[in-house]
Amino acid sequence: MNIALIAHDKKKDDLVRFTVAYKHSFERHSLFATGTTGLRIAEATGLSIHRYQSGPLGGDQEIGAMIAQNSLDAIFFFRDPLTAQPHEPDVTALLRLCDVYAIPLATNMGTAEVLIKGIDRGDLDWRMIVKESSDKKNEKR
């Protein structure tokens, strides 16, 4: 599966701790992240992570493009609901795309725990069916 990892500044430590705790789960998947978040996770875990730009510099939009191309299967986006974000429109667009394309999204530690355990159990295997269907539609074009 392709999994994105994103965190606002005040939530980066939480996401790093989460990925350290579930390294055994994440290492079986292709990981994508916004700039600093990806660097911090890679340093803490040794996991291979494709890093995009920092969120405010376009990284959220790069991840959004992956969603629109049906290239992502799950997103862990630890958001800080108490701090105004200068790139809030990008964040809102990313969340909207998750809803449009039915991409599972965890925005806090509680939902992240449920999502990673679901991934481990195979609860998201339906994503492979969605991808195959999408690939067949694209071949016909």
Return the active site residues: 60
Phi–psi pair at 27, nearest 5 degrees: -70, -15
- Please give the full DSSP string across the chain, using - where no structure is assigned: -EEEEEE-GGGHHHHHHHHHHTHHHHTTSEEEE-HHHHHHHHHHH---EEE---GGGTHHHHHHHHHHTT--SEEEEE--TTS--TTHHHHHHHHHHHHHTT--EE-SHHHHHHHHHHHHHTTTTHHHHHHHHHHHHHHH-
Q: Which amino acid is at 57?
A: L
